[in-house]
Amino acid sequence: MTDFSAISRRRFLGSSAALAGATAMGGVLGAGSALAQTPLTVGFIYVGPKGDFGYNQAHAEGAAAVKAMPGVTVLEEENVPESVDVKNTMESMINFDSATLIFPTSFGYFNPHILELAPKFPNVRFQHAGGLWTPDNPANIGSYFGYIGMGQYLNGVAAGHASVTKKIGFVAAKPIPQVVNNINSFLLGARSVDPSITCQVIFTGEWSLAVKEAEATNALCDQGCDVITCHVDGPKVVCETAAGRGAFVCGYHADQTALAGDKYLTGAEWNWARVYTGMIETVQSGGTIDNFVRGGLAENFIKMSPLGPAVSDAGRAQFEATKAEIMAGGFAAYKGPLKDNTGAEVVPAGGSLIETDVAIESIGYLVEGVIGSTS
């Protein structure tokens, strides 16, 4: 993805601040300039193992990039549950290792754990992955996330060209807005190629449950789905099982080319290395990180895996064209008239939801063409 790295850090911070709109209040990082002179100790906390080919690995790759920067000490802890454990871990990093910047990377760490700890340590900055910060939360909490639904839309474009059966499949953990948006985006991307395509979704109910993920993938293949993607913490099992059944695979979280080989079309990946090194640079140069930072493909928050050999020339062309449209900004996956899969109209004719629309953050419906239910 070297072709986008030319965008400067200023552009990325500036545009994300603009995207965040009114909610982007200037954060205060206590004694920011003092921090710049002393070595910076940064803590990363993961909810699962660092090498899961997925969510945690994506963050750990970001931490590895930070580790390579001068003047930074990186602390890491994996397999930290979203219980009192994470509170203890954060406090332990602060008390014993003098960490002043902490990245608790799991969604469930925010409420109540980060919210309770932040007022106790006003000089420590808590950067939470998940985009949950609101202006009435403490100012030493920051929140960041990426518009990865756009990545799933591009996955869908690749899938739409590869699918012969016109049925594609999605293995999902839980029906929360982020997952639901990914499912919708995947189908809408595929439908931009062929409006007759349907997407079957199976919820496993857990973020990480190997046997159930394999069973879900097999059930999708049995129903004739020939392109599979997923939103679980570690996509390794889904990728390998789907490729083993002869289905094409679109990746998620991290690059899974090594797992699915020729069956791998592309994948929606986080680009935390870019985001984290940018944030550390800001702190080192005495600046402050905005409390609310979001970005998409253009801002280098997410990236796409290199296209696999199975993507046709036509697929490649549409993929690149759509990507260019997304990079230009203001792209809408949801375009009216659009119904949900119970037949109710969700986007009226002429209306649309662009990638940054806040309505997407609480989306609860599956669009028409998705076979499945959120409850």
Q: Are 80 and 89 in contact (CB under 8 A)?
A: yes
Residues 237-276 that bind another protein (CB under 8 A): 237, 240-241, 244-246, 258-259
Minimum Å distance from CB 116 to another protein?
Answer: 9
**HSE-CB of 225 using CA atoms within 13 angstroms:** 30
Q: Is there binding between residue 373 and another protein (CB under 8 A)?
A: yes
Q: Is there binding between residue 111 and another protein (CB under 8 A)?
A: yes
Backbone φ, ψ for residue 352 (5° rounding): -165, 160
Pairing of strands 72-77, 40-45: parallel
Closest CB to another protein among residues 177, 286: 177
Minimum Å distance from CB 219 to another protein?
Answer: 4
Residues 61-100 that bind another protein (CB under 8 A): 75-85, 87-89, 91-93, 95-97
Minimum Å distance from CB 33 to another protein?
Answer: 27
Minimum Å distance from CB 310 to another protein?
Answer: 16
Residues 127-156 that bind another protein (CB under 8 A): 130, 132
Region of 211-219, 262-270, 280-288, 329-337 interacting with another protein (CB under 8 A): 211-219
- Which of 356, 375, 362, 316 has its CA nearest to residue 149? 356
Q: Are 58 and 129 in contact (CB under 8 A)?
A: no
Query: E strands of the chain, at which residues?
Result: 40-45, 72-77, 101-104, 125-129, 141-146, 167-172, 198-203, 227-231, 248-253, 264-270, 292-295, 302-304, 332-335, 338-339, 345-347, 352-354, 370-371
Closest CB to another protein among residues 56, 284: 56
Minimum Å distance from CB 328 to another protein?
Answer: 28
Closest CB to another protein among residues 9, 245: 245
Minimum Å distance from CB 363 to another protein?
Answer: 9
Q: Is 296 helix (H, G, I), strand (E, B) or coil?
A: coil
Of 16, 17, 52, 282, the one binding another protein (CB under 8 A) is 52
Of 29, 190, 221, 304, the one binding another protein (CB under 8 A) is 221
For residue 174, the tally of other CB atoms under 10 A from its CB is 15
Token code pair at residue 55: 């969510």
Per-residue mark of binding to another protein, 290-319 (x: CB under 8 A): ------------------------------
Token code pair at residue 257: 């080319």
